[in-house]
Amino acid sequence: RKENRPFKEKNLPLTTPLLLSTVHKRILSKIRKSIFEDKKEHFLFYEVDEERRVEIYLQAIAESLKKNKQVICIFPEIFSVNQFFNLCKQRFGSERIAFWYSRLSDSLRYSIWMKVLKGEIDLIIGTRSAIFFPFSNLSLIIVDEENHPFYKQEKRPLYHLNEVARKRAKLENVTLIFGCLTPSVESYFDAKETSKLNLLKR
């Protein structure tokens, strides 16, 4: 499998948003509309330009945070979690943002979980288990590299992140973005042949 790290050797935007093309502005407008409307959409965001894909994530997160809503953003690898966390700190500040993955100490994991329960965190950036955070005002779920094999939990409890993300987004009426360089067969089929996903691409 070809390695796809969205932040590898990239000069990604920090405090200054990246300029978007007309097409990307149209994509962002559809996501923004979903975030602000009562009926939320589920998107497959098929974008080979990794910098633009990340910038769309950042601006979509900004829209949710403006509404005092909460966001879960998931990456398959710790490297990408840390890099995106640093980008978000630069863009939004660090007070109400946290990162999450299995290698954190038990004490830090407990501290983050309790802060979420107390409403002190609005944005979680993590690996697959971050999907279970008990946000009460969730507005947006982002899953990058939605076709990645790491999203399948091989140990009990057995689950696939994508299925859990879809179910939670539906139950809680949340905007869902599956981002990808190359979409999975299942997601692409749902975007092209069913109404389960709304395809966003150039």
Residue 99's identity, in one-letter code, is F
- The reported pLDDT for the residue numbered 17 is 86
- The reported pLDDT for the residue numbered 6 is 55
- The reported pLDDT for the residue numbered 79 is 95
Q: Are 127 and 78 in contact (CB under 8 A)?
A: yes
pLDDT in tens, 132-183: 999 999 999 999 999 999 999 988 899 999 999 999 999 999 999 999 999 9
What is d(CA 113, CA 56) in angstroms, rounded to the nearest whole number? 27
In this structure, the strands spanning 70-74 and 198-201 are: unpaired
What is d(CA 105, CA 126) in angstroms, rounded to the nearest whole number? 14
Count CB atoms within 10 A of the CB of residue 189: 13
Residue with tokens 């689950």: 159
What is d(CA 38, CA 73) in angstroms, rounded to the nearest whole number? 21
Per-residue pLDDT for the chain (202 aa), expressed as one digit of tens each?
Answer: 444 555 554 454 456 788 999 999 999 999 999 999 888 999 999 999 999 999 999 999 999 999 999 999 999 999 999 999 999 999 999 889 999 998 999 999 999 999 999 999 999 999 999 999 999 999 999 999 999 999 999 888 999 999 999 999 999 999 999 999 999 999 999 999 998 999 999 8
pTM (predicted TM-score):
0.92
